[in-house]
Amino acid sequence: MKIAVTSQNFKTITGHAGRARRFIIYEGEMNQEPQEVKRLDLPKELAFHDFHPTDTQTKHPIDEVDIVITGGSGAGFINRMNARDLQVCFAEEGSAPLEAAQNFLNGKLPIVKV
């Protein structure tokens, strides 16, 4: 399972997921330690606030993940992620991305429903 965590400084979780351009990507399985596998540093036009393809078939770099963890977002972002077959979880802004990924894999971060 791949998990993307919004982190504008690659150190702490940030909110405003629709405007996020930096993500740390972790890979792991439930009840296991996640491993960082890459970092995304996207151009402005690929932030979801600005990325508006005419269909959900247009590929986006975040499409490789299963879960997006962020400090916060609106229902629009969650709906757009769900349309791309991605789930969203919220973690406290300013907390450590690795800790949030671990919390998800340990069942401590619920999937956000709208």
Rounded Cα–Cα distance for residues 38 and 58 (Å):
22
pLDDT score at 50: 87
Check pLDDT > 70 for residue 55: no
Residue 114 pLDDT exceeds 90: no
**Residue 111 — φ and ψ, nearest 5°?**
-70, 135
**Mind listing the pLDDT tens digit for each residue in 90-109?**
999 999 999 999 999 999 99
Reply yes or no on whether the pLDDT at 56 is more than 80.
Answer: no
Residue 54 pLDDT greater than 80, yes or no: no
Look up the CATH number of domain 2-105: 3.30.420.130
Q: Is the pLDDT of residue 28 over 80?
A: yes
5, 101 Cβ separation under 8 angstroms = yes
First to last CA, the chain: 23
Task: Report how far Cα 60 is from the mean position of its chain's Cα atoms.
Answer: 13
All structural domains of the chain with their residue ranges: 2-105
Measure the CA–CA gap between 10 and 19, rounded to whole angstroms: 15
- pLDDT band at 11; cut points 50, 70, 90: very high
